[in-house]
Structure 1
Amino acid sequence: MNYNIIFSIIAAVRLVSSNIRDFSICHDDFTLKPADGILKEHTFTWLAFVQYLHVTTGLPHHSIAPRVVLVHSQFVVGTATDLLHLPKNYKLGNIIFGDYEREENECDLTYMQTKMAEKCPRAYMEMPISDITPHPEYSRFGVGNSLALVKLLRPLKSQYMVPICLPSLEERTRKKRNKAVFMIDYISTVPRDFDTERMGKKTLKMYTHKECRRHRSKSRLGSEGVTHVLCSSGCGVRPGAPIVSQNVDGGFELIGVAAGGAPCTRRSMRRKLISEPPLYIDVYPYNNWIVNVVTANKLPKPYSQNFMLVEGGSSMGIHSGYLRKRRKMKAGWKSRTYVVGDYCFKTVKRQQRSTSFFYSENFEVKADPPAKLNVILKLSAGIDCTIVCAKLKLPNRLIVPEIKGVGGYNITVTFKTDWFPYIFYFNLGLNGKNTTAADFATWIPERKPGFW
């Protein structure tokens, strides 16, 4: 047997699995619900912008800096027009993450400093561009506004820089009913001083393609120039700015990318649907294209064809009879959240279809003088509910917790802390699903007085 062929098959399967898993590691903070206005630093780190540099002087453009959004550790998405049709005498510069969040070891933060609640100072990241891939509808069929994927020179190093989640059908359907989305953008049109630059959040009312066309026809405006269009209340929206929704599990999903909008001439225009509303490119129809482009850039070439590419990762043809009844659950970090359970590493679409986010609680301990903690937390969901995903958010990744029992109805969370100065906090969230008949029959004899 050719061992080189076997090795290439294993390598291809692992690369596909890790690449698809990357899309499940996205911004899903169930504790984050910021109010409208100026945001704290490190709230939404996946927003960046593109610099236009003058071909002679090298200076950035004084009034244009299109926004882009991180959808993968090495890919950002933006409008094709802003990335490919550049202003006269300007070239495309770097992608700049103005609110780059570093890990403790990146900024040489000692363990003692971390214990005293010190954090890395503010930073920004300038990342060169490796390649730009516009959607075929733009490059081949001349659609006026469409999306383009930009490949960065290398993946972002920091584990705290998680991308935004791609939109799911369930969340998109929910937005058609309640229409509440919010926009994240830099305060300045062209960010320059990153020590003082801030982001802001603004809640908007979203309208579907049909509603936009009806409104534009009534106002006697021309065609939208986009295949998949959304519009919203407000004005003065900059190109590439994202409109975002937070799903019931806490994930932040990219609903639309702004193609532009009329400027604000009056303050009252910011709260209502104006005659020329801001237009957005609906991201959901581009989901498969985004996944395919990223996957094509990650797979080795040539690669073996005897594996299946599925939503949850790669799959081999193993008969179910050879598998154990209770497998060891996957565990790992998603930014500062430690997760345990196979369902935690599936896409947002799969999680919402198969599970329910049923438990969320914040814990906070205040100590004066400083103290240590030895946490032992036991929870039971009852035998009618199977806990399939446990999420524990911690201040940093220096504490590695242990979560046992995922896949059953009882879990135990244990971890120890070192000395902390005044306040220590953590957050726990659980996803569950209905218990199967086989598991119910196995667990029913365990019900006895005093069993937690």
Structure 2
Amino acid sequence: MWRRLIPGVALVAVVVCQFFDCHDDPAFEPEEGPLGELQFTWLGALQYIHVKNGTPHYFRVPRVVLISRQFVLSTAVDAALIPEGYALGNIVFGDYERDEMECKTSLEELAQGRECEPAVLLMPIADVLLHPEYKHFNVRNSIALLKLITPIKSQYMVPACLPFKNFAITKAGKQTTESLLHIDFSSDVPRDFIEEEKDIQKVKLLPRELCYLYDALPTLGNVTKLPKDRVACTTGCGYQSGSPVFIHEHTGHWSIVAISQGGSPCQDPLRVRRPPPPPIHTLIHPYVPWITAAITGKAVGAFAKDDPFGYVMPRTSIYDLIAHTWVGHWWMGGLRCYDRGEAADDIFRFYHEIFQIKPTTVTYLAYYLEIDAAHDTMIICVKVGMPYRLGQPKVWQLDSPEIKVRIPVRGFQHVYKIQVEAWAYNATESLSSSIDDSSTEEK
């Protein structure tokens, strides 16, 4: 594989553009601990507001996850059991990433150095959709959907992905031993969302028998036991209710595996008398049919087979026939850029490069790349990551071993970064697999 870079540069004043990694960046593998950059903007919090003085609750702040532009996912308990004297307040996104229109900023102003800083978004709740198993069968560890009063407008607020399969179970039918990622705010009770940080840590699933062991203990009231195929226990402690557990797919998508039901805080290691009960999480995959039907009003079977979500979202929908459009900070060139799951098993990223320019004066530059792949390797997707949508890239000759990409940018100064990724598939393997399939059908 090789590429030719033919830059055209016209030196002319100075632009500083902060570069944010996109949620879909396959190269982004976060380390455990506090996150240093803006990430996971789909993580929010549910506020309870005092009915008399309007102050938020000081001890209970459940987490929510943005799964579409107008719906967030939460636990059923958090949506239904409101603290006495309080009412449902707002959904808070502490890292609300505004786009150019919401900033009321033109691309020329951004290119001249003006920055569109992240903001705090307070969004009222229009409706609460509790899962029927919670309302009618007293299944306590269930989920709920909170409908926002208006859709999220910013194009940079890309929702998280619903799972297209049960990531907790391997193909052999056993529980996975892979590490999952738990994402939450650093503070147990977030208050100042402007300064609030996020933490990420790796967790592993514990044997399911351990969950059922604690579930066998006497319970108060008429509460149904844990649904055996919808809960999981993990390592760790002190998880907040609604905080998500994710998996990072090879295509870069962040898929929700489970949400925490909360629990007791971590014990003092010097005063441990007995092992605490493991944290309980609700697996999301069994609820995807209900989520899609509740949001869209249509059953999952009404959607196309290649739609792993079951309903239209930016990560999987086809906006136009050629599928060359923006998703967050990434420009997607090619229909296969939207594939994930089994539909993306045959594609791989073979080219990834970050271009960085640090001029001494105002610079106008346009990138032109020619990317050549190995023999019998067909390039079917090109992704371009930019800090803002400062240009409309173009790509030619997709589904061939050689493609051409043109990335126009505007005048800038100081530092500017662009990421370019190329995805391909092996034409020989695809041909042999199709022949095998046809032979099998003939038999």
TM-score of the two chains, using structure 2 as the length reference = 0.79
Corresponding residue for 2:304? Answer: 310
2:297 match: secondary structure: helix
Distance in structure 2 (CA, Å) of the matches to 1:274 and 1:168: 35
**What do the CA deviations read for 1:284-311 (whole angstroms, capped 9, x no partner)?**
111222222222189xxxxxxxx96314
Instruction: Confirm or deny that 1:121 pairs with 2:114.
Output: no
1:378 match: secondary structure: strand
Higher relative contact order (CA 8 A, sep 6+): 2
Corresponding residue for 1:334? Answer: 327
Structure 1 residue 261: Cα displacement: 2.2
Q: Is the 8 A contact 1:127 1:153 kept in 2?
A: yes
Structure 1 residue 370: Cα displacement: 4.1
| Inter-CA distance 356–225: structure 2 relative to 1 (3 Å threshold) | farther
2:79 match: secondary structure: helix
Q: Is the 8 A contact 1:100 1:125 kept in 2?
A: yes
- Equivalent AA in structure 1 for residue 297 of structure 2: A
Structure 1 residue 222: Cα displacement: 6.0
Q: Is the 8 A contact 2:74 2:143 kept in 1?
A: yes
- Equivalent AA in structure 2 for residue 138 of structure 1: Y
1:165 match: secondary structure: coil
Q: Is the 8 A contact 2:94 2:194 kept in 1?
A: no
1:254 match: secondary structure: strand
Distance in structure 2 (CA, Å) of the matches to 1:132 and 1:424: 43
Deviates more, 1:393-402 or 1:165-174: 165-174
Distance in structure 1 (CA, Å) of the matches to 2:268 and 2:115: 41
Structure 1 residue 110: Cα displacement: 4.3
**What do the CA deviations read for 1:9-34 (whole angstroms, capped 9, x no partner)?**
xxxxxxxxxxxxxxxxx942224333
Distance in structure 1 (CA, Å) of the matches to 2:246 and 2:426: 30
Aligned residues: 389
Corresponding residue for 1:295? Answer: 296
Corresponding residue for 1:240? Answer: 242
Corresponding residue for 2:392? Answer: 400
Q: Is the 8 A contact 1:42 1:100 kept in 2?
A: no
Corresponding residue for 1:319? Answer: none
**What do the CA deviations read for 1:392-423 (whole angstroms, capped 9, x no partner)?**
11111121111112222221111222222222
Distance in structure 2 (CA, Å) of the matches to 1:380 and 1:268: 61
Specify every segment of 5 or more residues in structure 1 that has no aligned partner in the other structure, as ranges: 1-25, 299-306, 314-326, 441-452
2:233 match: secondary structure: strand
Corresponding residue for 1:37? Answer: 33
Q: Is the 8 A contact 1:101 1:161 kept in 2?
A: yes
Please show how residues 385-396 of structure 1 align to structure 2 within 5 Å. Answer: 385-396=377-388
Corresponding residue for 2:233? Answer: 231
- Equivalent AA in structure 1 for residue 399 of structure 2: G
Distance in structure 2 (CA, Å) of the matches to 1:91 and 1:218: 32
Q: Is the 8 A contact 1:50 1:93 kept in 2?
A: yes
Corresponding residue for 2:258? Answer: 256
Instruction: Confirm or deny that 1:158 pairs with 2:154.
Output: yes
TM-score of the two chains, using structure 1 as the length reference = 0.77
Structure 1 residue 251: Cα displacement: 1.2
**What do the CA deviations read for 1:330-378 (whole angstroms, capped 9, x no partner)?**
11111010002222234x3353345334433333233234433221111
Distance in structure 1 (CA, Å) of the matches to 2:99 and 2:270: 42
Distance in structure 1 (CA, Å) of the matches to 2:211 and 2:303: 42
Distance in structure 2 (CA, Å) of the matches to 1:180 and 1:74: 30
Please show how residues 103-182 of structure 1 align to structure 2 within 5 Å. Answer: 103-169=99-165, 171-173=167-169, 176-182=175-181
Structure with the bigger percentage of helix: 1
| Inter-CA distance 341–256: structure 2 relative to 1 (3 Å threshold) | same
Deviates more, 1:353-362 or 1:93-102: 353-362
Q: Is the 8 A contact 2:179 2:202 kept in 1?
A: yes
RMSD of aligned Cα (Å): 3.2
Structure 1 residue 246: Cα displacement: 0.9
Q: Percent identity?
A: 33
Corresponding residue for 1:82? Answer: 78
Corresponding residue for 1:73? Answer: 69
Q: Is the 8 A contact 1:206 1:231 kept in 2?
A: yes
Q: Is the 8 A contact 2:243 2:259 kept in 1?
A: yes
| Inter-CA distance 202–439: structure 2 relative to 1 (3 Å threshold) | closer
